[in-house]
Amino acid sequence: MNTEFGISIKDVHKEFAVNHTGIASLKSLLVFWKKRTLVKREVLKGISLDVKRGECLAIIGKNGAGKSTLLSLLARIYKPTSGTINVNGRVAPLLELGAGFHPDLTGYENVYFNAVILGLTREQVKERLPSIIEFSELGDAIGAPVRTYSSGMMARLGFSIAVHVDAEILIVDEVLAVGDQHFEKKCLQRVGEFRDNGGTILLVSHQLKSVEEFADRCIWLHDGNVQMTGKPAEVVAEYVKEG
C-alpha cells in the first residue's frame, strides 16, 4: 500500500435507492411487491482522488453535488457501490458536532462516550479529560446534563473532543464556525496546529473565503463528478463565475 497518500480513492460510484412511498413497511412490501417504486439515484459518478499526508483539501460545490456523501464514504459510513477507497490512519469526523450526545447524561459522561466512539481507550480519555474540558471552556457546566447546554456549548464540547482523539485525518463539514468569534479563532488555530503536525484535512465549505485561505488544493464537485481540481484561488474563481 502506498503510504505517501493519506487517502486514495479510485473510480468510486455511489448509488442510493430512493423510495417514493416514504419509509418502507411490510405492508407496502407485500402489496406492492410487483410495482415497487425503488428508484436508483447515482450520487457519485466515478470519483478518483488522492490526498497526500499533511495536505488540506477543500471540496466545494452546490447542494446535492455529492460532497457530504463523499465525506461519509471516507468516514466508512457507507460502502461504495463500486470502486476502491483506501484510508491510511484514523479518521475523526467533525460532521455536525455533538451528534452522539445523550441529553440526560452529563457533559462528563458524554465526553467519555464520544471519545471512545472515536477510538480512544477509557484510559486515554481519563488522561485527556482535563485538557478536553479546558479547551471547551465549559468549566463547572461539565457536570450538568447536556440538555441544559446551549447549542454553542454543545458544539464547543464536540469540537474539543474531536481534536483530542489523535486522528490522522480530520473531516470538517461546515463546522468551523462554532461558538463565538473567540472560539472560532481558537478552533482555526487548533486545526492549523493539527495540519502543521502532519495531519490530513478534508474540508467542505460554502465559505469560499476560508477555502482560499486555508486549503492547499481544491476540488469542485458538480453533479457527482469532479468538475475541476487545482489551486483554491483558481477553482473558486471558476466556481463563482459559473454561479
Partner 1 sequence: MRKDLKELWSYRELLFVMVQRELRIRYKNSALGLIWSFLNPLFQVLVMSLAFSIFLKVGGKSHTVYMLSAYLPFMFFQTCVLDSSQSILLQLPLIKKIYFPREVLPLACVLANLIHLLIGFVIFFALLLFVYIMDPRIVPFQINTVFLPILVLISAMMATGASLIVSALNTFYEDVKYIVTVLLNLLFYMCPILYYAENVANNDTNLKSNFLLYKIYNLNPMAALTHAYRRVLLAPKEIDLGAGLHAHWMPFPLKYLIVCAVFSFCLMVFGYWFFNRLKWKFVERP
Interface with partner 1 (CB under 8 A): 16-19, 23-27, 29, 38, 72, 75-79, 91, 93, 95-96, 99-100, 102, 104-105, 109, 112-113, 116-118, 120-122
Q: Distance between CA atoms of 58 and 36, rounded to whole angstroms?
A: 39
What is the spatial distance between Cα 222 and Cα 239, in angstroms, rounded to a whole number?
Answer: 10
Angstrom distance (rounded) from CA 62 to CA 225: 12
Q: Which is nearer to partner 1, 79 or 182 (CB)?
A: 79
Helix, strand, or coil here: 215?
A: coil
Kindly state the cell numbers that stand for 198. 502532519
DSSP 4: S
Residue 78 C-beta: closest distance to partner 1, Å: 6
State phi, psi for 18 to the nearest 5 degrees. Answer: -110, 125
Q: Which residues contact 230 (CB under 8 A, 6 or more apart)?
A: 217, 218
Least separation in angstroms between residue 208's CB and partner 1 is 25
User: From the CA atom positions of the chain, what is the Rg in Å?
Assistant: 20
125 or 191: whose CB is closer to partner 1? 125
Return the number of the residue (169 or 218) whose C-beta is nearest partner 1.
169
Residue 155's identity, in one-letter code, is A
User: Nearest approach, Cβ of 134 to partner 1 (angstroms)?
Assistant: 22
Report in angstroms how near the CB of residue 218 gets to partner 1 at its nearest: 24
> Taking the complex as a whole, how short is the minimal distance between the CB of residue 42 and partner 1, in angstroms?
13
C-beta of 11 vs 96, nearer to partner 1: 96
In the bound state with partner 1, the residue whose beta carbon lies nearer, of 113 and 222, is: 113
Among 40, 51, 96, smallest CA distance to 226 is for 51
Nearer to partner 1, 162 or 208 (CB): 162
Closest by Cα among 166, 171, 141 to 154: 141
Q: Report, in Å, the least distance between residue 100 CB and partner 1.
A: 5
CA 236 vs CA 49, 68, 203: distances in Å: 18, 19, 14
